[in-house]
C-alpha cells in the first residue's frame, strides 16, 4: 500500500503516513456504494442526521433544506467527500481538507460531477490552524483513530474552532464487540478501519475521547451510539449502544 509517493501526503506531526497512504491506495472507490467504503455509505444518513440534529440544536437553526447557510464549516479528514457534499447542499460555507492529495483529487472531481463548488485542500489541521483559519463547525468523523498524535491533533482542532462553535466527532470504540465487527469487518463491515494489533490500540473508548477533549479545552457531550441492524444494513442513533461506533459533540 505504499505505492503513494511521500510528497503527495501533507506532512505534520499528526499525520500517520502509512494510514494516509492506505486511504490514497483505495481512493478511486470512495464513491462506489458497493466498494470498500460501503459501510461509510450505509452509515451516511445516520451520521448526517446526527450532525444536523446537533448543529441545529447548538445554533438554534430553522428546520429548512438549507439550515447551514450562515455557518462556516470545516470537514477535516474529508476523504472522498462523502460528508462534504451533503454539508454543502445544506448550505454550509465549507472548507474540506485531507492529508492525502489523491483523496482531494477524487473528491474534487466528484463534486464537479455533482455540480457542487467545494473548497477542497490538501493540508492538515495544524497547517490550517497556523494559517489562522477558524470555523463555526468542525466535522471530524472517522479520523481520530487514524492520526499519529491525538492530543496535538485535538489542540490544533481547538484553535480552528471559533468561540461558541461546535465540533462533531465519530470513531470506533475499543470493545470486543467493535473488535469482532472490525475483524469480520475487514471483509464485510467496517472496512475502512486501520489494520493490525498496533492500530487496534489507537481506538478510543468514549471515556478516553472525552478526557482527551477536555484536556484540549473542549466541553464534550455524552456519547451517542450508531447502532447497526444487519437486516437491511441500516444504522440508527442510540443512547445506549455505543459499543461499536459512536459520536460525540464538543463545544469550544
Ligand X SMILES: C[S@@+](CC[C@H](N)C(=O)[O-])C[C@H]1O[C@@H](n2cnc3c(N)ncnc32)[C@H](O)[C@@H]1O
Q: In whole angstroms, how close is the CB of 60 to ligand X at the nearest point?
A: 26
Query: Cα-flanking dihedrals φ and ψ of residue 64, to 5°?
Result: -120, -175
The verdict on whether residue 77 carries a ligand-binding annotation is yes
Phi, psi (degrees; rounded to nearest 5) at 80:
-85, 0
Show the site string, 71-100: x = touches other proteins by CB under 8 A, - = not: --------------xxxxxx----------
Q: Is 195 annotated as a binding residue?
A: no
Does residue 92 touch ligand X according to CB under 6 A? no
| 98 annotated ligand-binding residue | yes
Residue 229 near other proteins by CB under 8 A: no
Binder of residue 194, out of ligand X, other proteins, none (CB less than 5 to 8 A by kind): none
Does 58 bind ligand X (CB under 6 A)? Our answer is: no
Letters for 18-57 (x = contact with other proteins by CB under 8 A, - = none) are ---------------x-------x--xx--xx-xx-----
Tell the burial category of 34 from Cβ atoms under 10 Å away from its Cβ (0-12, 13-18, 19+). Answer: exposed
Judge residue 169's burial from the number of C-beta atoms within 10 Å of its C-beta, 0-12 exposed, 13-18 middle, 19 or more buried: buried
CB 71 within 8 A of CB 59: yes
**Residue keyed to cell 486511504:** 23
Q: Which residues contribute to the site for other proteins (CB under 8 A)?
A: 33, 41, 44-45, 48-49, 51-52, 64-65, 85-90, 113-115
Residue list, annotated binding site for S-adenosyl-L-methionine: 47, 77, 98, 141
Amino acid at each position: 500500500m505504499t505505492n503513494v509517493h511521500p510528497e503527495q501526503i501533507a506532512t505534520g506531526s499528526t499525520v500517520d503516513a502509512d494510514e494516509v497512504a492506505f486511504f490514497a491506495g483505495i481512493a478511486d472507490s470512495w464513491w462506489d456504494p458497493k466498494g470498500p467504503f460501503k459501510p461509510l455509505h450505509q452509515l451516511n444518513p445516520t451520521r448526517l442526521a446526527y450532525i444536523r440534529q446537533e448543529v441545529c440544536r447548538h445554533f438554534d437553526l430553522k428546520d429548512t433544506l438549507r439550515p447551514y447557510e450562515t455557518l462556516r464549516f470545516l470537514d477535516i479528514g474529508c476523504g472522498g467527500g462523502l460528508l462534504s457534499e451533503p454539508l454543502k447542499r445544506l448550505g454550509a460555507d465549507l472548507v474540506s481538507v485531507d492529508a492525502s492529495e489523491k483523496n482531494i483529487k477524487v473528491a474534487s472531481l466528484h463534486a464537479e460531477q455533482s455540480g457542487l463548488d467545494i473548497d477542497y485542500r490538501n493540508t492538515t489541521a495544524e497547517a490550517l490552524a497556523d494559517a489562522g483559519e477558524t470555523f463555526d463547525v468542525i466535522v471530524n468523523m472517522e479520523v481520530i483513530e487514524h492520526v499519529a498524535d491525538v492530543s496535538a491533533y485535538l489542540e490544533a482542532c481547538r484553535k480552528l474552532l471559533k468561540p461558541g462553535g461546535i465540533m462533531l466527532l465519530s470513531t470506533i470504540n475499543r470493545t470486543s464487540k467493535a473488535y469482532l465487527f472490525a475483524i469480520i469487518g475487514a471483509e464485510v463491515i467496517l472496512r475502512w478501519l486501520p489494520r493490525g494489533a498496533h492500530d487496534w490500540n489507537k481506538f478510543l473508548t468514549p471515556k478516553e475521547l472525552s478526557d482527551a477533549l477536555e484536556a484540549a479545552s473542549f466541553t464534550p457531550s455524552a456519547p451517542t451510539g450508531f447502532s447497526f441492524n444487519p437486516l437491511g444494513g441500516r444504522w440508527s442513533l442510540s443512547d445506549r449502544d455505543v459499543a461499536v461506533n459512536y459520536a460525540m459533540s464538543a463545544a469550544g
